[in-house]
Amino acid sequence: MQELHSIQIQPIIERALEEDWGYGDWTTDLCVEKGRQAKARIICKEDCVVAGLDIAAAVFKKVDPNLHVEIKAQNGQWVKDRTLLLSISGSAQSILKAERVALNLMGRMCGIASITREFVKALEGTKTQLLDTRKTTPGLRILEKSATVLGGARNHRFGLCDGALVKENHIRAAGGITQAVSRLRDGLPPMLKIEVETTNLDEVKEAINAGADIIMFDNMSVEAMREAMAVVNGRAIVE
């Protein structure tokens, strides 16, 4: 996916700050002098894949455009424990008000990118590519999917509008795989793909015969997947 644009991330940051601040930060406002200046550093506490540096920086700048923020690493970079990621200087009040939201978003993205990298490494030497899903935290999808890409995976659908994925409940409601695929072929824009979720060989055969572009093997055993791959025989993409 392309680099995130401020139009995409600003609403997320605004909601997160609103959630964290509520009626205001009593502790910072009453304990810290308004004109006091400070310097802060964000350092990782363990080896990780860096993600969300730009998001964290944007949080600090959203709270106070006068803060000076320096990014010291690169998104997607594997770094060691105690590596300096960000340095911030300026109003002590502003830094304290921004730090938790910045750390929450960046920490989550680093965690996702790091675990993704582990799975990607496990697949090295194979033709298999790792894809993400729509099973994301509500409101944070674009950040979490960005993190999976930084970890080395590829994005699947961002939303329901990006393609047709026929799952078990769709199949039941439509009356079968063949009926579901037929209706999609009649109404789906030609650039969108049709994917069918299958759980056994009979469903795989029906999906292939119906003309599905992509076949998903859902919770099949390794042996069943081997047999299913032979059935597909290159006629569709397999997930």
**Catalytic site positions:** 100, 135, 167, 197, 218
> How many residues appear in the chain?
239
Residue 55's nearest CA partner among 11, 1, 114, 121 is: 11
Output the CA–CA distances (angstroms, integers) from residue 56 to 3, 61, 124, 146, in the order listed: 15, 9, 31, 14
Whether the CB-CB separation of 124 and 130 falls below 8 Å is answered with no
Bridging pattern class, strands 237-238 and 214-217: parallel
